Structure 1
């Protein structure tokens, strides 16, 4: 038995989703992740009224298209765990489930090192600490309209969030008011046409691993207009072109990682974007986050050690929160 995988599954079922005896649980997965689905099912049996598994075609990054065209697929269930390679939290089916007050956990299991994400130590992060950290940051994001981010590597980005509310994920469904993601972060669905400036990508490229060298990415009127032709840039261009959707170039989310157990090493998509001391720009679909942008997918570009300003107030310096942090004993 893989004890690390079982530990991760127990965290998901007992601490994050908090499965109850009246829950009708659906675990969505692909053939590649059947071992994780079986472990989740094992931990849920006896806790839920029923536990079902839906194995969908492994459509890669386009798996979300099925859940856009079949919005009602989650209607019979009270709790859904989306344990596929790619995030489903921004799909129309997820949005419908959330609106119907179902419990929804996005659990993207994509890794690049052969291990199951359920085995990673970052899943053991104290959710109470992340909740307190998030509330501090959200206080300043909520009262601002502009976000300005710079880094020593050369990032200089301006984003806007008028009438857009921040939220946070830490795995715990209750904290997310019905839905959450395994990513431990604060997020804002930024205005889709107003991001301007330069991102020096030096963290990770979402699902496709670590940035091998800092790579310049230009944003204008909300979308990527140029990607520097480094090895990393060429890999990113090829990846984005395969979505066959010009909306994937639009910045729809700004996120701040809060998981002090995570490291941005390019081994695991969720670990990278969760890492404390990083920020990320989510590209493509942002509907379930509170935005207006649909697309064939959603993924994040992660950068290291940012200085972050909300309007004119600095809240992070070189990746460290500098507004008063709560003390956790």
Structure 2
């Protein structure tokens, strides 16, 4: 185990380049307060730090209350240390549009500060992320298969790649360390096929998948969810959102961090090398046009992914 404060320092320096006199804000909630307090303790030398606690949201992408959103709008650097992600919230969009740097620390555990993806070589992996983005640039058709039977095709025409380096170093930047990934976005209405989710779905009722879930996708929407108990839970959860847009398959993210391991927590799982995840629901952060209060990620292992016939991932390995 590493010293957990070492990871806090990585977040304050490598991942955000915090300056001593900047206005630094930690947004947290009761579930995540233990990690937020460790970050606070690690900020001893930062003289303009603040921490604000709010009630927990009920799903990723929901906005904080107006008081918290107002504080975010005034900050130079924001650490979103919350149970559910603020990344797809309007408050985060508004804050970074105003020049803030946002670091997403959704669903962190103390263990994540002691080992795992935060101890990677962010600079070296960043170069790989850039190379993947170049391969996605200008692509028209994305095709994904897995040994378990997944076979999915969609258009990514005119959708710019979205490399995530897990570092927020410039004004307006957002990141989610240790999630190093490069994402693209399925054009609405074009996704078709079958995908077996066998990695994780970072939601409190699901986490690591023990009985693979079959998604049937037609014209860009999940039209059927089948499998065992976890499939039935997913079906119920998505239905309870009461928003037809949550069934939209938008983000297609390629995990690139070799030090991440699937553990049911969003940022380790999304960044886990050798995986791809679908982000369902809101896709505006990836160049799409579907608005939703929800964004749910579903991770599957060892995919083969091609763009216009060129192999980018071969059973999870970068080509």
Q: What's the TM-score once normalised by structure 2's chain length?
A: 0.91
Matched position secondary structure for 2:14: helix
Q: What is the CA distance between 1:41 and its match in structure 2?
A: 1.5
1-side partners of 2:193 and 2:225: how far apart? 12
Q: Which residue of 2 aligns with 1:12?
A: 11
1:221-258 C-alpha deviation (Å, 9 max, x unpaired): 11110001322211211222232322111112000000
1-side partners of 2:296 and 2:103: how far apart? 17
C-alpha contact 1:284 1:294 (8 A) present in aligned 2: yes
The structure-2 alpha-carbon separation of the partners of 1:87 and 1:238, relative to structure 1 and needing over 3 Å to count, comes to: same
Say which of 226, 241, 250 aligns to 1:252: 250
Aligned length in residues: 316
Question: What does residue range 42-57 of structure 1 map to in structure 2 within 5 Å?
Answer: 42-47=41-46, 49-57=47-55
C-alpha contact 1:218 1:224 (8 A) present in aligned 2: yes
Q: What is the CA distance between 1:17 and its match in structure 2?
A: 1.1
C-alpha contact 1:117 1:268 (8 A) present in aligned 2: no
Say which of 161, 186, 204 aligns to 2:182: 186
* Structure 1 position 161 matched with structure 2 position 159: no
Q: What is the CA distance between 1:73 and its match in structure 2?
A: 4.6
Structure 1: gaps (5+ residues): 323-329
2-side partners of 1:222 and 1:140: how far apart? 23
Q: Which residue of 1 aligns with 2:314?
A: 317
* More deviation, 282-291/35-44: 282-291
C-alpha contact 1:62 1:243 (8 A) present in aligned 2: no
1:250-308 C-alpha deviation (Å, 9 max, x unpaired): 112000000101122x4322212211110010011222333222212212111111111
**Which of structure 1's runs of 4+ aligned residues deviate more than 4 A?**
67-73
Structure 2: gaps (5+ residues): none
Q: What is the CA distance between 1:53 and its match in structure 2?
A: 1.0
Question: What does residue range 145-160 of structure 1 map to in structure 2 within 5 Å?
Answer: 145-160=140-155
Question: What does residue range 1-329 of structure 1 map to in structure 2 within 5 Å?
Answer: 4-47=3-46, 49-61=47-59, 64-66=62-64, 72-109=70-107, 115-174=110-169, 178-182=173-177, 183-207=179-203, 208-264=206-262, 266-322=263-319
1-side partners of 2:13 and 2:64: how far apart? 28
C-alpha contact 1:249 1:283 (8 A) present in aligned 2: yes
Q: Which residue of 2 aligns with 1:325?
A: none
C-alpha contact 1:79 1:102 (8 A) present in aligned 2: yes
1:158-217 C-alpha deviation (Å, 9 max, x unpaired): 122222211222321128962111211111233232211110111112222111122211
C-alpha contact 2:282 2:291 (8 A) present in aligned 1: yes
The structure-2 alpha-carbon separation of the partners of 1:62 and 1:170, relative to structure 1 and needing over 3 Å to count, comes to: closer
Q: What's the TM-score once normalised by structure 1's chain length?
A: 0.89
C-alpha contact 2:246 2:280 (8 A) present in aligned 1: yes
C-alpha contact 2:252 2:278 (8 A) present in aligned 1: yes
C-alpha contact 2:283 2:289 (8 A) present in aligned 1: yes
1-side partners of 2:66 and 2:256: how far apart? 29
C-alpha contact 1:224 1:250 (8 A) present in aligned 2: yes
